[in-house]
Structure 1
Amino acid sequence: MAEDVENKDQVDSTEGTENLKVLENIDVMLTVEVGRTEITIRDLLRLNEGSVVELDRLAGDPLDIMVNNTKIAKGEVVMVGERFGVRFGEIVDPEKRMESI
């Protein structure tokens, strides 16, 4: 009986690994969110070059790293040559990440 349970666990693990391999090559959109705010349509229509909109984050706060609009981590902006990059900090548990993607 215990052997049957062990074999079932091995089969489930193998199926999970095979399913993950299928998913590994799917492209997802990774974005970094600086902050958010709500504005009225009136204020939106009044925006022009040079306008400044205050966001809900303080300068220096960690940024949200999102995959397909789901937060997976927090991080900070870094320079990679002449481009922006992001250094990952606190990361959401891998199982929770997979559930939410």
Structure 2
Amino acid sequence: MNAFNPAMHRFGDVTVRLSVELGRTDMPLKDVLSLAEGSVVPLDRLTDELLDVTANGRVVARGEVVAQDGRFALRIVSLVGDEDASPSRMHAQAGGPADAPARASSAESLDTPA
């Protein structure tokens, strides 16, 4: 919460669902249909790249996965302002045009109430 803006304190009890996306990929439908246990799907992120934290589809921070008490957690590394949100990282949730390849959502969510 923004400690410098007292007007924001009235919204402090509003719950927001945060999601963390590991990555995405585009795959032909035939490859999606052939996925099975043990299949490996390469994603568009490098292993040392920070992950996007989104609230209502908007990137609000970037962080790294850590382990805490035997569970996945996220350490926030940087906060993102509107001017920093990269359009290339902001993917539409719905599918693209009819002739676009099928999108295999390889995103994992760490859903955390704020």
Matched, 1:26 2:14: yes
Deviations 1:60-84 (A, max 9, x none): 1111111122111111011111011
Q: Which has the larger radius of gyration?
A: 1
TM-score computed with the length of structure 2 as normaliser: 0.60
TM-score computed with the length of structure 1 as normaliser: 0.67
| Count of residues in Structure 1 that have an aligned counterpart in Structure 2 | 78
Alpha-carbon deviation of 1:44? 1.2
Residue segments in structure 2 that go unaligned for 5+ positions in a row: 1-5, 83-114
Matched, 1:73 2:61: yes
Higher relative contact order structure (alpha carbons within 8 Å, sequence separation ≥ 6): 2
Amino-acid identity (%): 40
Equivalent residue, structure 1, for 2:98? none
Equivalent residue, structure 2, for 1:54? 42
Moved over 4 A (4+): none
Residue segments in structure 1 that go unaligned for 5+ positions in a row: 1-15, 97-101
Backbone CA RMSD of aligned residues: 2.0
Matched, 1:40 2:28: yes
Task: Please identify which structure carries the higher helix content.
Answer: 1
